[in-house]
């Protein structure tokens, strides 16, 4: 069983609201097809982070004006999810959408509980569950954002996948901001070295922690699964990794 996150920076253009990269998703789905059924998580990209930031949703419920933002984010991430579901199903992956709003609760902005029973039933039936970053209820601050990265942590611990793969728009995790000259890709990161790595360049409108947050999630996953970050914009890289070939990317080890 494989667990794959289609990062928001891969499936959307994060600089332009509601910009879906249909061609990229079609290509990634064709690379995933031979390995289905599998568990898929996707980020929100420019369908979620723009309104989430504008209405301060990650900081919790403070005023009724935010409710419009909550509803809009919910609608837009479902729109993104449905576009992905259509491509998956049209291309032979029997995927079922499991929106986190219905099955998880946050506490102070972190995932507190996820009902994994529907995921198990879906997998046991031979179907591929698909979930995504969402705006959810929060037992401390009313509501907050459940990043797809938190869902990756919970699902990796529950299912212990053979490989857990984060797809990003960069080759992996760098020793500093990859936009800086001299930045070096870190092919293997041990959990104890991870503090200094993962300096993000994608702070642009990302309400859920950027690259440093992703690395923290990978460190949590490493005891349960082989965990990788690779570039989802480079054709063939995902298929090669799933096929067990050596690829450019970062692997986090316990």
Q: Which is nearer to ligand IP8, 52 or 241 (CB)?
A: 52
N residues, the chain: 254
CA angle 31, 156, 101 (to 5 degrees): 90
- Minimum CB distance to ligand IP8, residue 182 (Å): 28
Q: Check: CB of residue 52 under 8 Å from CB of residue 207.
A: yes
- Minimum CB distance to ligand IP8, residue 144 (Å): 10
Would you call 217 helix, strand, or coil by DSSP?
A: helix
Torsion region of 114: left, alpha or beta (phi above 0 gives left; psi -120 to 50 gives alpha): beta
- Minimum CB distance to ligand IP8, residue 243 (Å): 26
Distance CA 47, CA 252 (A): 29
- Minimum CB distance to ligand IP8, residue 245 (Å): 27
Distance CA 115, CA 244 (A): 31
Q: Which is nearer to ligand IP8, 111 or 135 (CB)?
A: 135
Neighbours of 97 (CB within 10 A): 16
Q: Check: CB of residue 155 under 8 Å from CB of residue 116.
A: yes
Q: Which is nearer to ligand IP8, 13 or 175 (CB)?
A: 13
- Minimum CB distance to ligand IP8, residue 246 (Å): 27
Q: Which residue is nearest to ligand IP8 (CB)?
A: 133
Q: Which is nearer to ligand IP8, 17 or 187 (CB)?
A: 17
Q: Which is nearer to ligand IP8, 110 or 121 (CB)?
A: 110
List residues near ligand IP8 by CB under 6 A: 8, 43-44, 48-49, 52, 73, 77, 133-135, 145, 147-149, 207-208
Closest to 135 measured CA to CA, from 144, 124, 126, 127: 144
- Minimum CB distance to ligand IP8, residue 64 (Å): 19
Q: Which is nearer to ligand IP8, 129 or 148 (CB)?
A: 148
Give start and end residues of each alpha helix (H) in 8-159: 8-11, 22-32, 49-54, 66-90, 100-103, 117-124, 148-159
Distance CA 250, CA 227 (A): 9
Q: Which is nearer to ligand IP8, 130 or 135 (CB)?
A: 135
- Minimum CB distance to ligand IP8, residue 158 (Å): 18
């Amino acid at each position: 069983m494989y667990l794959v996150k289609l990062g928001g920076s891969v499936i959307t253009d994060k600089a332009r609201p509601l910009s879906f990269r249909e061609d990229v998703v079609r290509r990634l789905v064709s690379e995933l097809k031979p390995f289905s059924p599998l568990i898929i998580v996707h980020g929100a990209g420019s369908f979620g982070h723009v309104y989430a930031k504008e209405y301060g949703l990650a900081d919790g419920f403070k005023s009724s004006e935010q409710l419009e933002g909550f509803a809009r984010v919910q609608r837009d991430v479902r729109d993104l999810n449905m576009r992905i579901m259509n491509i998956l199903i049209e291309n032979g992956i029997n995927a079922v959408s499991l929106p986190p709003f219905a099955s998880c609760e946050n506490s102070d902005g972190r995932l507190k509980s996820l009902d994994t029973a529907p995921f198990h039933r879906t997998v046991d039936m031979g179907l591929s569950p698909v979930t995504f970053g969402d705006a959810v209820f929060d037992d401390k601050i009313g509501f907050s954002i459940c990043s797809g990265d938190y869902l990756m942590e919970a699902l990796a611990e529950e299912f212990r996948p053979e490989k857990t793969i984060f797809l990003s728009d960069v080759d992996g995790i760098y020793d500093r901001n990859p936009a800086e000259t001299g930045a070096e890709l870190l092919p293997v990161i041990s959990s104890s070295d991870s503090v200094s790595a993962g300096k993000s360049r994608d702070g642009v409108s990302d309400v859920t922690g950027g690259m440093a947050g992703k690395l923290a999630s990978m460190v949590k996953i490493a005891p349960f699964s082989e965990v990788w970050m690779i570039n989802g914009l480079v054709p063939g890289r995902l298929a090669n990794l799933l096929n067990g070939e050596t690829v450019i990317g970062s692997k986090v080890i316990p």
